[in-house]
Amino acid sequence: MTADPECLFCKIIAGEIPAEILHSTERTVAFRDINPQAPLHVLVVPRDHAPNAAASAEAGPEMFAEIAVTARAIATAEGYDDHRLVFNTGAGVGQTVFHTHGHVLAGRSMTWPPG
């Protein structure tokens, strides 16, 4: 496993910073967002550190399948049939923690376009 000792999400994965963990596998960890934007707002992160979704995709696209399956399982377990899965790649579109993570959002009406 690769980790960045300065990365907030790597510290959560390592158990150095507390988080409400909802799901954990050999390759991913899912925890509630501390600043939720919907009734359900969970982050699904790979255990291996990569700065963004594009870097994770270059390393191996199978990670996105696992994140999507985890997102669906969490939404279903929380009682939602529908959910939104969002990846921000870069500060210009709102990424603030530079470790790949998918936002699982559900429980309110989502508009389009987002923003």
Q: Report pTM.
A: 0.94
- Let me know if residue 23 belongs to a domain: yes
Residue 43 domain boundaries: 8-103
- Let me know if residue 113 belongs to a domain: no
From 49, 83, 101, 103, the catalytic residue: 101
Q: What is the pLDDT of residues 82-115, one digit of tens each?
A: 999 999 999 999 999 999 999 999 999 999 887 6
- Let me know if residue 19 belongs to a domain: yes
Asked if 83 is an active-site residue, the reply is no
Q: What is the pLDDT of residues 57-91, one digit of tens each?
A: 888 889 889 999 999 999 999 999 999 999 999 99
- Cα 100 from chain centre: 7
Closest CA to 8 of 100, 103, 97, 101: 97
